[in-house]
Amino acid sequence: MSDLIRIFWSNKESPETYTVLPGEECVIGVQTKGRIFLHSGKQSKNLSKAGITGILRGPRTFFSEKNTKSLLVYISPLLLSRMITVPMDQISDSSLSLEDLFPKEVIFRLMADCEEADYKGLDVSRTLEKFRHLLPVKEEKEKFIREAVLRIKSSLGEIGIKGLAEDLGISQSSLERGFRSRVGLSPKEYTGLIRFRNIFKFYNSSSSLTELALEAGYYDQAHFIREFKKKTGFSPKQWFRRNANSGLDLSF
């Protein structure tokens, strides 16, 4: 299951406002120092010190206090869906407390282990394993969802949903239900997400946006611009100009 989880520390020494773009994983964050806030318009929400953000359809803006340190766990919705009792589409586009999904005593133990790992400089993978052992992972019943995800990824998002369902030997409605429950998006939304991620995979500063759109799987320039703006809040030209000197950190 290691291929379904990525884990590392994030240390923000200065106050910082930052935007997270849609990715293929959900993110668990445990703050051992400082706090993080979710910005939405003029509203600001103080997030739980042990929280989770589900798979996103659009950008989310966060603010971290000075000297905020977080353990970040990027987890596949295919795995997370086997650890929680609610369908994944109920946590899509949301930032929740881990206590909304897991027993309080488990989260208390996780936070204590994270603080110990931070203080003693321990290997964080051991902390994650302790957390995993406290939670039962349900048997995977809808294995066709995993296969569908693999096929969508291998096609770079250029696959028809009806044909995919037929190839898997299931109805399109079963595929739709399974995706919403296990991934948190519809199959069509997921193919759109994969194409969006292709943009950054194939990005080259010397390429034109027209070339980039075609390589990422967008054959209509207007569609490319519309989908990009929906997921970033900016047109492609605006976004790449704003981030030209940022090194394009795409770990989100």
DSSP readout, 81-109?
Answer: TTT-SS-GGGTTT-EEEGGGTS-HHHHHH
CA atoms within 13 A on the CB side of 151: 16
Q: Report the CATH fold assignment for 2-133.
A: Jelly Rolls (2.60.120)
Question: What pLDDT score was predicted for residue 196?
Answer: 97
Q: Report the alpha-carbon distance of residue 63 to residue 15 in Å, rounded.
A: 7
* Residue 144, token pair as written in the block: 């066709």
Q: Report the alpha-carbon distance of residue 24 to residue 75 in Å, rounded.
A: 9
Three-state DSSP at 67 gives coil
Predicted confidence (pLDDT) per residue in 6-62, tens digit: 888 999 999 999 999 999 999 999 999 999 999 987 889 999 999 999 999 999 999
Chain region(s) in the chain for CATH 2.60.120: 2-133
135 CB-contact burial (10 Å; exposed 0-12 / middle 13-18 / buried 19+): middle
Question: What pLDDT score was predicted for residue 135?
Answer: 84
Cross-strand pairs, 95: 53
Residues 6+ apart with CB under 8 A from 51: 28, 29, 36, 95, 96, 97, 98
* Residue 115, token pair as written in the block: 């603080």
Residues 143-242, CATH architecture = Orthogonal Bundle (1.10)
* Residue 48, token pair as written in the block: 């739980």
- Cβ contact 38:95 at 8 Å: yes
Chain region(s) in the chain for CATH 1.10.10.60: 143-242
Q: Report the alpha-carbon distance of residue 48 to residue 229 in Å, rounded.
A: 29
How many C-beta atoms surround the C-beta of residue 188 within 10 A? 12
Predicted confidence (pLDDT) per residue in 142-190, tens digit: 899 999 999 999 999 999 999 999 999 999 999 999 999 999 999 999 9
